């Protein structure tokens, strides 16, 4: 039996996606958003009976999965931008994952959705990969959102743990009390002194132990210290 290495499978998956989504690299091709899965993923409706619906994961945006803290908050922010409207998608160097999900920069009219979510604090900058086109922009927008305490950053845990534990292989960092961290191999562990140090190293948080935020969706801010309202949408 012929075996495929993971890299081969990924290449084949990307090829299949592009056959179903032939204009994935053209920002002027419009597709209807059929479903909003989370704060960083959607389903696009097929335009013909011969095509399949396409699942799209937003390049550069990290958001919680269902069942994790702040899932509904981030999903609703994404829905407000794209639900039941037409969007266009641009790809980058890495086109799709092994399951055939398209990696994309999503535009709703002239609003850059990936950037808008990070700017308003409803998405975090994801770990670096081959898709680097807008990474510096995303990092600058996250810094701005954190400073303004926008979106998720209104719930930031202002105190630091004694340290944080990162997974070198997963590029994820945990609170030291996280039960999932305890299963990491010793050689895979990296110690950070602060949350900021982990973020600067390109690590994302484990949404289960949520080291960046207090796990509540009720605003912790006093009435006279409200976070900044969303600014004008980022456009192409």
Please give the pLDDT value at position 93. 93
pTM (two decimals): 0.81
Query: Quick one: average pLDDT of 118-139?
Result: 95
pLDDT confidence bin for 98, thresholds 50/70/90: confident
Other Cβ atoms closer than 10 A to 129? 15
**E-state strands within 111-213:** 111-112, 124-125, 164-167, 172-174, 189-192, 204-205
Identify the residue with better confidence: 78 or 26.
78
Q: Which residues constitute the domain of residue 147?
A: 6-155
Residue-level pLDDT at 236: 62
What's the rounded Cα separation, in Å, for the pair 18 and 16?
5
Same domain, 80 and 195: no
What is the overall mean pLDDT for the chain? 85
Cβ-proximal residues to 123 (8 Å cutoff; 6+ apart), any chain = 39, 40, 58, 61, 62, 63, 74, 77, 114, 117
pLDDT of residue 53: 94
Residue at 168 is within a domain: yes
pLDDT at 91 over 50: yes
Predicted local distance difference test score (pLDDT) of residue 23: 42
**Do both 49 and 78 map to the same domain?**
yes
Tell me: do 96 and 25 sit in the same domain: yes
| Mean pLDDT, range 176-183, rounded to an integer | 90
pLDDT in tens, 195-230: 999 999 999 999 999 999 997 654 444 434 444 445
The pair of structure tokens assigned to 182 is 């305890």
Does residue 231 fall inside a structural domain?
no
Residue 97: which pLDDT band, with cuts at 50, 70 and 90? confident
Same domain, 142 and 198: no
The pLDDT of residue 232 is 59
Any domain includes 42: yes
DSSP symbol at 101: P
Count how many domains the chain has.
Answer: 2
Residues 144 and 163 in one domain: no
Asked if 135 and 88 sit in the same domain, the reply is: yes
Ranges 26-40, 71-85, 210-224: which has the least confidence: 210-224
CATH number reported for the structural domain that contains residue 37 in this entry: 2.40.50.90
178 versus 99: which is more confidently predicted?
178
| Separation CA 24–CA 192 (nearest Å) | 39
Higher pLDDT, 168 or 47: 168
Kindly state whether residue 225 falls inside one of the protein's structural domains. Answer: no
Residue 13 lies in a domain: yes
235 in a structural domain: no
The answer to whether residues 38 and 78 touch, using CB atoms and an 8 Å cutoff, is: yes
Task: Encode pLDDT of 102-115 as tens digits.
Answer: 999 999 998 999 99
Tell me the CATH number at 180: 3.40.10.10
Q: What is the pLDDT of residues 60-70, one digit of tens each?
A: 999 999 999 99
């Amino acid at each position: 039996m012929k075996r495929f290495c993971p890299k081969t499978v990924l290449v084949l998956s990307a090829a299949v996606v592009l056959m179903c989504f032939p204009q994935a690299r053209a920002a002027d091709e419009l597709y209807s958003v059929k479903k909003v899965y989370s704060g960083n993923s959607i389903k696009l409706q097929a335009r013909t009976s011969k095509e399949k619906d396409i699942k799209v994961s937003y390049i550069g945006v990290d958001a919680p999965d269902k069942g994790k803290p702040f899932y509904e908050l981030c999903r609703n922010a994404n829905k407000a931008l794209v639900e039941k409207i037409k969007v266009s998608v641009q790809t980058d160097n890495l086109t799709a994952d092994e399951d055939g999900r398209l990696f994309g920069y999503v535009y709703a009219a002239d609003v850059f959705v990936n950037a808008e979510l990070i700017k308003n604090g409803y998405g975090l900058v994801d770990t670096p990969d081959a898709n680097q086109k807008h990474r510096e922009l995303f990092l600058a927008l996250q810094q701005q959102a954190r400073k303004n305490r926008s979106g998720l950053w209104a719930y930031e845990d202002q105190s630091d743990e004694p340290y944080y534990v990162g997974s070198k292989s997963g590029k994820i960092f945990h609170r030291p009390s996280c039960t999932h961290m305890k299963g990491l191999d010793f050689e895979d562990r990296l110690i950070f002194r602060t949350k900021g140090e982990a973020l600067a190293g390109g690590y994302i948080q484990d949404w289960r132990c949520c080291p960046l935020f207090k796990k509540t969706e009720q605003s912790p801010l006093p009435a006279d210290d409200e976070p900044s309202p969303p600014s004008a949408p980022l456009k192409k």
